[in-house]
Amino acid sequence: MAGTAATVNLSSAPYLLRRIYAFSSNDIKVGSNIEVDGAPWRVLEFLHVKPGKGAAFVRTKLRNYMSGTTVERTFRAGITVEEADVFKETKQFTYKDGSMFVFMDLTTFEEVRLNETDVGDKKKWLKEGMDCNLLFWKGKIIDFEVPITVQLTVVDVDPGLKGDTASGGSKPATLDTGAVVNVPLFVNIGDEILVDTRTGQYMTRA
């Protein structure tokens, strides 16, 4: 029936057949997705080293998409590195069903459910109707990204100080998603603010 939403669990997320790529370690850069020991990793840092003696190499700092573990790893210059076939799909966070977070593809109306562990600390930025990027690898969702900037409402904060718009002071404020951020003294309950989700810092009033 048209418009009927299908529910897809994390373990059976859709997998699109895509080409497997390989590239030289010399081409590694920040943001590259590589497959090492059967797992997908994202390159956080890299440095090409050419010692006076011996072979050149590439020193990297990697984050495992599956476990979140960060490690340092060195590759010989010029060796072949397999690219992890990680790709993004935009889904809208539609509602929370018990402990499950439900995301919908607005084209197919197919639903994907993530549990509390999958979502992790990012849940404090989630609002219904928010577009997020889900990252897939070999048919599994391995990560998801919230927008860098989100607009949220202050629901609890100490009263603002009249005329105090330039002071460097701050105070904790609870937002409608449950997140707590430090805001300027002049911010009041009901104010809409912009927050950088990468740092959790207040940016400005909306």
Output the CA torsion 19→22→26→27 (10° steps): 10
Residue 47 is predicted with a pLDDT of 93
Percentage of the residues of the chain whose pLDDT score is greater than 90: 62
| Residue 15: pLDDT over 90 | no
User: Which domains are seen in the chain, by residue range?
Assistant: 22-82 (2.30.30.30), 86-145 (2.40.50.140), 149-205 (2.40.50.140)
| Residue 144: pLDDT over 80 | yes
Whole-number Å distance between alpha carbons of 175 and 167: 22
Nearest to 45 by CA among 84, 65, 71, 22: 71
pTM score: 0.72
Confidence of residue 163 (pLDDT cuts 50, 70, 90): low
